[in-house]
Structure 1
Amino acid sequence: MSDFATVTRALDLPFDEAIAFLRDKLSVTSTGWTDIWQKANAKAFTVAGATTDALVEDFRREVMRALESGTTLAEFRQGFDEIVRKHGWEHVGKPGWRARVIYETNLSMAYSAGRYVQQTEPETLLAFPYWQYVHSGARHPRKQHLAWNGLVLRADDPFWDWAYPPNGWGCGCRVRPVSESGMRRQGRAATDVAPERIETTTVNKRTGEVLKGSEGVDPGFDYNPGKAWREQPAASVPGLES
């Protein structure tokens, strides 16, 4: 099984919360992937290097179609090629790779946000007050993500504010809700100790900007998409102007 398959295998059927997450976004042009940074991505739909409103909107429609209708990656790539030809877009990277990144990242973020909303419904939290980090089983795993596999914390632990997956490009990790009886079945008397958040810095080679992040998470992914979407108005999100 390819690493990409581990990301998409859980994306079976679309559900209302995931679709709403994508529909609620504002379409925003950009010159590079750091123009819309971290939490701002929960409120903005953007494709790095897509600098016209028409181009962004065409990509948005194609991603929405993938989410609502279950468009495959192969079908999305065909749509990507048509959009590129239509707009004469000169993009970075090979077409197949670039289409995959757009498809994979947008769908995984939408499903993550949707699951978070479902998992934080009051009746769900009452029945499942704990969350467990589940590694994707990728053939080439990130060591930190693999180390977190099986980690159980309370649903309101601050760890989930910065490490609720996906935690990077191509990350297929997820969060599984756990009940009190589920804890007992796992032989657990208490939750684990939450990993410490260690700040990292990355320099944007294009702009020279120093970007802050969290160890174990790819730059720009250290936030909770569902929480940012649910709790923060667009005007309050750094990097996104209303």
Structure 2
Amino acid sequence: MPQPVNLSFAMGLPPKDAVAYFESKGHRITWDWKEMDQAAHAQGFTVAKAAQLAVLQDIREAARAALNEGKTEAWFLKHLEPKLCEKGWWGKQPMVDPRTGEERRVQLGSPARLRLIYRQNMQTAFMAGRYKQMLENADARPWWQYVAILDGKTRPAHKILNGRTFRYDDPFWSSHYPPNGFNCRCRVRALSDSRMEAEKVTPESGVGNMVTEEVATVDRATGQEARRKVTGYKIPETGYTIFTDVGFSANPGANWLGQQLEDVVRRIEAAPPEIARQIVRDMGERVLPDWLERPVAFFPLVVVPEADAALIGAKCQVGRLSQATAGKQTRNHPELGPADYRAAQDAVDQGEKLKDGARSLLYVLDEPGGVVVVVKATVEGDEMYVQSLRRLSRDEAERDRVVRRVKRKSARPQGDER
């Protein structure tokens, strides 16, 4: 007889980061799990059709105890079933679909449902904590290898990914860091350069090989169709694309870290201007060097004056350096280091401001070793991003030439970028 699954034992005692990830998840009430964006799944504890907050709270508290105390799946089921029966959230019950106003019989609590909730939420929490730990050790073990359990229950696509190895910052991991579907048991193994050589592992790259498509999902009860984005990795040697399951094309660990940075940005935006700039400068000293080594989501790099932000239609003042732009900057300007990026705030505070189109501003700090920074507001104006940063030459003639070119470019008539 199969033994009950104990994820805490199977994966090791829960790291504090797994617990922190789980604790950060708020309540999200949804009729159908497909209604919620995959990034929101990473930020909210959700149980489809658990419309009563008390039911959601019971399930969440049991999941928290299971994670913190190493409780088994059998305990989870035994603990919850009587509570959910008492609240009427068990078996098939008539419920009103809030999307259509129609009443229909739906499956609420059941042993199979609770097993899925237990496994999925525990697996996601563990893997989010594991992702953060692996990032912190990426200098020593920069290569990550996909590991699937090769038995009769494993999806064929996950078997194909088994053993494939990518750098920790490869775009593959933005979508394919496990879990990649319900009941996915895959994990990731971190390897050093010497281990890669000893095992004769050839790394792959997702650059240019990641594919995103829209697929139709159908509610089996109502026949309603919705379209969801799903991401796949196109295997270079065969051209075959391995997609995640629908709803799993996001890395919960990366989304969690991104949410933490969003919280920081909210605090910066709410602070008085001088304090906001000081927070950014302090983060530039303490956090930016590590972030540039292992970029995740974005980094709050500059705070621009409210009047400047208004010029380009921005409703915010924090200029973010995105993970993608940081990668582009590293490829095109590998000579730039943390001190160069910290100088971006100096350019905003002391440099010359030039409007460059409907949504962009240039800040030019015209001095030996100064910088040119470009910030751009999104179309909606809710966010603002640092598009590029470059150092100016210490040679006066060369610096003057570059500054004149920048000014000429910004002075040209610009079309409406909206």
TM over 0.5: yes
Of stretches 124-133 and 200-209 in structure 1, the one that deviates more from structure 2 is: 200-209
Q: Shift of the alpha carbon at 1:199? A: 2.1
Q: Shift of the alpha carbon at 1:86? A: 2.4
Residue 162 of structure 2, aligned match among 143, 149, 166: 149
SS of residue in 2 equivalent to 1:104: helix
Q: Shift of the alpha carbon at 1:200? A: 4.5
Q: Shift of the alpha carbon at 1:37? A: 2.3
**RMSD of aligned C-alpha atoms?**
2.5
Residue 210 of structure 1, aligned match among 221, 227, 250: 227
Gaps of 5+ in 1: 237-242
Superposed, 1:183-198 pairs within 5 Å as 183-188=196-201, 190-194=202-206, 196-198=210-212
Quickly say closer, same or farther: Cα 1:34–1:198, change in 2 above 3 A. Answer: closer
Is 1:163–2:190 an aligned residue pair?
no
Aligned to 2:135: 120
Using CA pairs below 8 Å that are at least 6 residues apart, which structure has the higher relative contact order? 1
Q: Shift of the alpha carbon at 1:9? A: 6.3
CA distances 1:178-220 after superposition (whole Å, capped 9, x unpaired): 10011011113x5124353352503232442112213431110
Measure the CA separation in 1 of the matches of 2:199 and 2:57. 47
Of stretches 165-174 and 83-92 in structure 1, the one that deviates more from structure 2 is: 83-92
Of stretches 37-46 and 4-13 in structure 1, the one that deviates more from structure 2 is: 4-13
Residue 99 of structure 1, aligned match among 114, 124, 137: 114
Aligned to 1:174: 187
Rg comparison, structure with higher value: 2
TM-score of the pair, normalised by structure 2: 0.52
Q: Shift of the alpha carbon at 1:139? A: 2.0
Cα contact 1:6–1:137 (8 A) shared by 2? no
Of stretches 89-98 and 163-172 in structure 1, the one that deviates more from structure 2 is: 89-98
| Identity over aligned pairs, percent | 34
Residue 125 of structure 2, aligned match among 110, 135, 139: 110
Is 1:227–2:254 an aligned residue pair?
yes
Measure the CA separation in 2 of the matches of 1:62 and 1:83. 11
Aligned to 2:215: 201
SS of residue in 1 equivalent to 2:166: strand
SS of residue in 1 equivalent to 2:188: strand
CA distances 1:124-173 after superposition (whole Å, capped 9, x unpaired): 11101110000122322211111111111100000000000010011100
CA distances 1:6-51 after superposition (whole Å, capped 9, x unpaired): 9776333111000111101111222111232211111101111100
Cα contact 2:218–2:225 (8 A) shared by 1? yes
Quickly say closer, same or farther: Cα 1:157–1:165, change in 2 above 3 A. Answer: same
Aligned to 1:239: none
Quickly say closer, same or farther: Cα 1:59–1:5, change in 2 above 3 A. Answer: closer
Measure the CA separation in 2 of the matches of 1:6 and 1:57. 22
Q: Which letter maps to 1:165? A: P
Measure the CA separation in 1 of the matches of 2:77 and 2:198. 44
Quickly say closer, same or farther: Cα 1:118–1:8, change in 2 above 3 A. Answer: same
How many residues are paired up? 232
Q: Which letter maps to 1:60? A: R
SS of residue in 2 equivalent to 1:27: strand
Cα contact 2:144–2:167 (8 A) shared by 1? yes
Q: Shift of the alpha carbon at 1:90? A: 4.3
Cα contact 2:145–2:163 (8 A) shared by 1? yes
